[in-house]
A and B are shown apart, each in its own frame.
Chain A
């Protein structure tokens, strides 16, 4: 009896349908990682530990009252900014980018914190200004977004910067940014594109876009992954080659296929049917997530939860688009499927927040 109440208490704030869908996705992930890693038991152990830690964190986060979460917002955002400044000044350069901060004991990548802290800050600010919501407020919110973005883009980590920009944009969009401003911004961005191409992008970034257009121009370098992953997807056919039977990946044509390129493995082995299933699974998670978001009692909750879910959708689209050769190569993992603890933790903590923002309403009212 006591045990049952305890368990009920523990899971009180989780949303059953969403949790079920997420677990299904993680199950699928384990199967694909097992195949992609070449049945490597050590990697599977790490994968299970990563999943457990991330699920535990989700459970933990679901217990934080939304009011408390709002109190955390400003400090979290400020801390994120300070750490990013720290990176810019004293960061460790790894792979040509200054992304890491060495704390002696461990290294941290503050841009990961900003993935959640930036949209949270924007949602908090719009919530705080909800009585007026003038254009000036959106401008300030925009500045709050641009500040960390600039620091991250300078590292350079364009992939993360774009993803955070997207999540911040979703908050502004859901918050009711006027269409006039939206279209104006889109037009300006379109006009500025050639300028950005010439002056803002690094050579390797330009290269990645050019490689997308003609992968054979650099068959040993940047084009290699696109060529091989497209072959993997295409040769999967309708039914796929079968679990653990993908030739492209198992014959080492695609190195490091358990992380950013895991979709190539999945697609080759499970074919179009598998892809359709994965798309539907993602769609269901997004659908349920958006439903929950619209039920959040506060504006803060609605905006933040909405942005989290839409960002999740963006990750999935960008990764699958990259692997199937319609988007340039950016380092974005396939959410909840790719091997790797950090991304899994960020995504599941995000969903933990979504569930908590929504479910606490019942308990507050009663």
Chain B
């Protein structure tokens, strides 16, 4: 059949020629349109454009807004701006960069670290952008440069706003820092159509509150219409749309409490999360060691950066949100609730603890931490003395599916949703998860050790604090939130962040009462945290825990003195107070701290003492802010009574 369609090459070629002529004609028409456009612009509209270009060389200069200030709940400044002079170079306009900088070094002092930073910024920036060589010039240096200015085309002194974190290291992980806008930030800004709003701005929030609330803190860039002379220098301001400062933020955080907590850690590494159980406000969020956020603002030099990033102590990691640990015995109060609610155990059921637990048909011994066991143990005593054998058996009876289902209601294995980036979700294992992850079935022994918070179970200190809040609050879980209020710089109006209930766990009152009572007894004589709890002026509820760093072989005994400091167990503690009317909930993790009762619980005690009784260990008190926080913030109505815009859009 196709033979019939055979095409004559001659005809075919003629058609090609015709098509080619049509296409060529089309191109000619389009070029004529262009020509018409040029005639229109360059002859008909010439006067208009000539005037624009020649008489009024108007240039639009962005006027960057000043960034919002960040305060703690008492009005202490956590992040503020100050104005300083910088010496900046535009590589495009400078002939020989190295030579210019060498010559500049004779006029103002340029340190080796300044050079290193400049080199790094040079690689990241485009050539027509001006890059700082030196920050914070002194008045004398500014004067010296101005005299020599004619020698340095393409080098300018500029007045810029800088960010400063007066309380430094203690808030490095929470408040975070701003840094120079990098390619990654540019991409994001372009995607959000925010690029124009960042013209003239060099810095952007990189970490912590500074990053989460970037859209609020930044403000709106203004535009100045400036007439320039033939040399491009501004001669007259024609009109100005004023920039709009960013919102000032007020955090739930209490700076002094945070410093008390920092101090309480001594030389230990670790993390602490303190929440207000009545609204989820984050009162303190500590991750030790920290770093000085001020180093990042001007662009950190690569030497210091590597030092921080490669340090064995990992100061750049926010342990409160990004370090996961086996929760150890701190999981026991939740296991007890699970036992009561699922009906697997009654409160009065007792077991005889021989010091170990065995699965039916197996000789493997799951040891109790106490050799020889605790004797006759009921549920309450099991929590107070932290009896492992009791919870091994409970876990085995309950099974992993029910355990995991019940515990995830408390937030295990889920992100808490705090308004900071980078939070990890921890892990509440299920047989399904293990099959997918390791392509292996779930072994019964893994359920047994999960019952005392070992094995696959992993949680961040933040998750432990949220779970503890659920107990303290009789099942009500609030989303942990750092933001308390923000002030609109234009209207001066302060709005409050609404607290959000994210979970309501149904637990019977008797079950809660039993577990809370047991947790109070933990801090009393006979309990595992009795030392830290002695003579507390309030009802102090808590639970100690220990997270293993190294495995201990069957038949071997853990001996802290024989293990290197790096491999010693992590000490854990969760707690709340006053137990009858909780005002603070916390989770403490002390890395390589050994026993929860001896290192983590005392940290919690000091923090709670300060919060409830105002007992202040000696800490350096920061200087008071220049401007007091507005009235509205001070006599604030409880946050949950005021409704505020949804925070989601900011928290992304």
Is A107 interfacial (CB 8 A cutoff)? no
Is B24 interfacial (CB 8 A cutoff)? yes
Kindly specify which of A15-23, A226-234, A349-357 makes contact with the partner chain: A226-234
Kindly specify which of B185-193, B418-426, B594-602 makes contact with the partner chain: B185-193
Is A287 interfacial (CB 8 A cutoff)? yes
Please tell me if the beta carbons of B38 and A272 are within 8 angstroms of each other in the complex: yes
Q: How far is the CB of A151 from chain B (nearest CB, A)?
A: 20
The A-contacting residues of B in range 12-29, CB under 8 angstroms, are 12, 15-17, 19-20, 23-24, 27-28
**For A252, what are the chain B residues with a Cβ–Cβ distance below 8 Å?**
128, 232
Return the contact of A247 from the options B30, B53, B199 (Cβ within 8 A).
B53
**For B57, what are the chain A residues with a Cβ–Cβ distance below 8 Å?**
247, 251, 253
Q: How far is the CB of A95 from chain B (nearest CB, A)?
A: 6
Please tell me if the beta carbons of A231 and B187 are within 8 angstroms of each other in the complex: no
Please tell me if the beta carbons of A131 and B7 are within 8 angstroms of each other in the complex: yes
Closest Cβ neighbor of B225 among chain A residues: A219
Return the contact of B34 from the options A40, A170, A271, A321 (Cβ within 8 A).
A321
Q: How far is the CB of B203 from chain A (nearest CB, A)?
A: 18
**For B5, what are the chain A residues with a Cβ–Cβ distance below 8 Å?**
132-134
Kindly specify which of B39-47, B112-120, B461-469, B564-572 makes contact with the partner chain: B39-47
Q: Complex Cα distance A317/B37, Å?
A: 12
Q: Complex Cα distance A153/B110, Å?
A: 48
Is B143 interfacial (CB 8 A cutoff)? no
Return the contact of B54 from the options A218, A233, A235, A271 (Cβ within 8 A).
A235
Q: A203-B193, A279-B31, A313-B27 given as contacts; is B38 within 8 A of A267 (CB)?
A: yes
Please tell me if the beta carbons of B38 and A275 are within 8 angstroms of each other in the complex: yes
Is A283 interfacial (CB 8 A cutoff)? yes
Please tell me if the beta carbons of B23 and A310 are within 8 angstroms of each other in the complex: yes
Please tell me if the beta carbons of B41 and A324 are within 8 angstroms of each other in the complex: yes
Is B230 interfacial (CB 8 A cutoff)? yes
Q: Complex Cα distance A307/B67, Å?
A: 54
Q: Complex Cα distance A207/B378, Å?
A: 69
Please tell me if the beta carbons of A238 and B43 are within 8 angstroms of each other in the complex: yes
Digitize B507-528: 1 where CB-to-A-CB distance is under 8 Å, 0 elsewhere.
0000000000000000000000
Is A99 interfacial (CB 8 A cutoff)? no
Q: Complex Cα distance A247/B53, Å?
A: 7
How many residues of chain B are within 8 Å of chain A by beta carbon? Answer: 53
How many residues of chain A are within 8 Å of chain B by beta carbon? Answer: 64
Please tell me if the beta carbons of B20 and A174 are within 8 angstroms of each other in the complex: yes
**For A207, what are the chain B residues with a Cβ–Cβ distance below 8 Å?**
193
Q: Complex Cα distance A134/B4, Å?
A: 12
Q: Complex Cα distance A279/B48, Å?
A: 24
**For B636, what are the chain A residues with a Cβ–Cβ distance below 8 Å?**
none
Is B629 interfacial (CB 8 A cutoff)? no
Q: A290-B20, A310-B23 given as contacts; is B42 within 8 A of A95 (CB)?
A: no
Is A125 interfacial (CB 8 A cutoff)? no
Please tell me if the beta carbons of B60 and A224 are within 8 angstroms of each other in the complex: yes
Is A243 interfacial (CB 8 A cutoff)? no
Please tell me if the beta carbons of B31 and A220 are within 8 angstroms of each other in the complex: no
Please tell me if the beta carbons of B42 and A237 are within 8 angstroms of each other in the complex: yes
Q: A176-B12, A232-B53 given as contacts; is B190 within 8 A of A320 (CB)?
A: no
Is B92 interfacial (CB 8 A cutoff)? yes
Please tell me if the beta carbons of B6 and A131 are within 8 angstroms of each other in the complex: yes
Q: Complex Cα distance A321/B59, Å?
A: 24
Q: How far is the CB of A281 from chain B (nearest CB, A)?
A: 11
The B-contacting residues of A in range 312-366, CB under 8 angstroms, are 313, 317, 320-321, 324-326
Digitize B41-69: 1 where CB-to-A-CB distance is under 8 Å, 0 elsewhere.
11101101110111001011010000000
In the complex, which of the residues B27, B37, B59, B60 has the most CB atoms of chain A within 10 Å of its own CB atom?
B27
Please tell me if the beta carbons of B24 and A326 are within 8 angstroms of each other in the complex: no
Please tell me if the beta carbons of B24 and A221 are within 8 angstroms of each other in the complex: no
Q: How far is the CB of A204 from chain B (nearest CB, A)?
A: 7
Q: Complex Cα distance A286/B26, Å?
A: 12
Q: A255-B128, A317-B27, A317-B34 given as contacts; is B193 within 8 A of A204 (CB)?
A: yes
Q: How far is the CB of A221 from chain B (nearest CB, A)?
A: 3
Q: A220-B223, A326-B37 given as contacts; is B53 within 8 A of A293 (CB)?
A: no
Please tell me if the beta carbons of A324 and B23 are within 8 angstroms of each other in the complex: no
Is B35 interfacial (CB 8 A cutoff)? yes
Q: How far is the CB of A225 from chain B (nearest CB, A)?
A: 12
Q: Complex Cα distance A16/B492, Å?
A: 74
Q: Complex Cα distance A102/B193, Å?
A: 27
Q: How far is the CB of A130 from chain B (nearest CB, A)?
A: 7
In the complex, which of the residues B23, B195, B196 has the most CB atoms of chain A within 10 Å of its own CB atom?
B23
The A-contacting residues of B in range 222-254, CB under 8 angstroms, are 223, 228, 230, 232
Closest Cβ neighbor of B28 among chain A residues: A283
Please tell me if the beta carbons of A272 and B60 are within 8 angstroms of each other in the complex: no
Q: Complex Cα distance A224/B228, Å?
A: 17
Q: Complex Cα distance A286/B31, Å?
A: 11
Is A47 interfacial (CB 8 A cutoff)? no
Please tell me if the beta carbons of A317 and B223 are within 8 angstroms of each other in the complex: no
Is A49 interfacial (CB 8 A cutoff)? no
The B-contacting residues of A in range 196-245, CB under 8 angstroms, are 203-204, 207, 218-222, 224, 230-238
Closest Cβ neighbor of B27 among chain A residues: A313
Please tell me if the beta carbons of B50 and A174 are within 8 angstroms of each other in the complex: no
Q: How far is the CB of B31 from chain A (nearest CB, A)?
A: 5
Please tell me if the beta carbons of B35 and A276 are within 8 angstroms of each other in the complex: yes
Please tell me if the beta carbons of A174 and B195 are within 8 angstroms of each other in the complex: no
Is B279 interfacial (CB 8 A cutoff)? no
Please tell me if the beta carbons of A221 and B43 are within 8 angstroms of each other in the complex: no
Closest Cβ neighbor of A275 among chain B residues: B38
Q: Complex Cα distance A363/B631, Å?
A: 92
**For A235, what are the chain B residues with a Cβ–Cβ distance below 8 Å?**
46, 49-50, 52-54
Return the contact of B53 from the options A174, A248, A275 (Cβ within 8 A).
A248
Digitize A63-84: 1 where CB-to-B-CB distance is under 8 Å, 0 elsewhere.
0000000000000000000000
Please tell me if the beta carbons of A220 and B38 are within 8 angstroms of each other in the complex: no
Please tell me if the beta carbons of B34 and A324 are within 8 angstroms of each other in the complex: yes
Q: How far is the CB of A197 from chain B (nearest CB, A)?
A: 17
Please tell me if the beta carbons of A176 and B16 are within 8 angstroms of each other in the complex: yes
Q: Complex Cα distance A219/B58, Å?
A: 12
Is B212 interfacial (CB 8 A cutoff)? no
Closest Cβ neighbor of B92 among chain A residues: A38
Q: How far is the CB of A148 from chain B (nearest CB, A)?
A: 22
The B-contacting residues of A in range 258-274, CB under 8 angstroms, are 267, 271-272
Please tell me if the beta carbons of B52 and A170 are within 8 angstroms of each other in the complex: no
Q: Complex Cα distance A170/B22, Å?
A: 11
Q: How far is the CB of B219 from chain A (nearest CB, A)?
A: 15
**For A321, what are the chain B residues with a Cβ–Cβ distance below 8 Å?**
33-34, 37
**For B481, what are the chain A residues with a Cβ–Cβ distance below 8 Å?**
none
Closest Cβ neighbor of A287 among chain B residues: B24
**For B183, what are the chain A residues with a Cβ–Cβ distance below 8 Å?**
94-95
Q: Complex Cα distance A328/B152, Å?
A: 40
Please tell me if the beta carbons of B186 and A231 are within 8 angstroms of each other in the complex: no
Q: How far is the CB of B525 from chain A (nearest CB, A)?
A: 61
Q: How far is the CB of A137 from chain B (nearest CB, A)?
A: 11
Q: Complex Cα distance A21/B50, Å?
A: 33
Q: Can you pick out 6 interface pairs between chain A and chain B where the beta carbons lie within 8 Å of each other?
A: A132-B7, A176-B19, A204-B191, A272-B43, A324-B37, A324-B41
A132-B5, A234-B52, A275-B42 known, 8 other contacts, Cβ within 8 Å: A174-B16, A219-B223, A221-B193, A231-B49, A234-B42, A272-B42, A279-B34, A326-B34
> What 6 A-B pairs have minimum CB-CB distances, sorted nearest first?
A234-B49, A221-B196, A235-B53, A234-B41, A220-B196, A235-B49
